[in-house]
Amino acid sequence: IGFGSSEYYVVDQNGDGKIDPENDYVKLGSNTPDFYWGLSSSVSYKDFDLSLQFQGSQGAEVYNIDPIYWKSQFGGRLRSSFDTEGDGIADHNGLHYEEARNAHGSMMQDASYIALRNLTVGYNINPGFAGKIGLSSARVYVAATNLWYKMADNYTSFNPEGVETTNTGYLGPTTYGYQEGASPIVRSFTLGLNVNF
């Protein structure tokens, strides 16, 4: 219906006066990323060590159907000034509506992301102290996974890598080109101890 009503226009792509699936399809994107990338680094200073790993994907688009299900849950009443003809007369005064689960181009979204997959900070305990408690060496560390995660600005779901756990064999949005039911990014923290006797 248009911007004024917060509904969507359906565009006659080829201009023949009718909207049909045979002649009005438009290629909106590709689920294949332009490239994947990764960066790993580690440094140490005296008894401390730090390692990190970044990973990302650039250029894939996915058909994100999550918003279809969210939007169908919201209904309401059309505003009293809703005027489809532009003649100043409210044509659909007070009608109730529920957003339809229609597919549209805005559901094609950029699935690019950058993730700090792992960050680990460790400390090697002084060998003299470790020996006093019967150890040849000991190291304590803290680690975090997905500590920082940046998604594309127009991406509206939880996770561009998301795999729907209820669908066996589904390998993710950049494999099949669509996304449904993605769970949020999992972030974890670990406190660890490595010992050698």
**How far is the first Cα of the chain from the last one, in angstroms, to the nearest whole number?**
73
pLDDT confidence of residue 79: 52
Question: How many CB atoms are closer than 10 A to CB 63?
Answer: 19
pLDDT band at 183 (very low <50, low <70, confident <90, very high): confident
137-151/108-110 β-pairing: unpaired
Which pTM does this prediction carry?
Answer: 0.69
pLDDT tens, position by position, 69-113: 665 555 555 555 556 666 666 655 555 455 555 566 778 889 899
9-63 tens-digit pLDDT: 677 888 888 888 778 777 778 888 999 999 999 999 999 999 999 999 999 888 8
**Residues recorded for the chain:** 197
Closest CA to 114 of 146, 140, 81: 146
More confident residue, 68 or 92: 68
14-24 pLDDT tens trace:
888 888 877 87
Q: Residues 110-138: pLDDT tens digits? A: 989 999 999 999 999 888 888 888 888 89
What are the Cα distances from residue 108, in Å, to 144, 177, 178, 191?
32, 9, 9, 40
Q: What is the mean pLDDT of residues 132-149?
A: 92
Write the DSSP symbol of residue 28: -
pLDDT reported for residue 133: 85
pLDDT for 3 beyond 50:
no
Total Cβ atoms within 10 A of residue 46: 7
Position 185 scores a pLDDT of 86
In 3D, which of 117, 85, 79 has the Cα closest to residue 97? 79
pLDDT, average across residues 141-168 = 83
Amino acid 106: pLDDT: 73
Domain extents in the chain: 1-28+75-102, 31-65+107-197
Portion of the chain with pLDDT greater than 90, in percent: 31
Q: Is the pLDDT of residue 1 over 50?
A: no
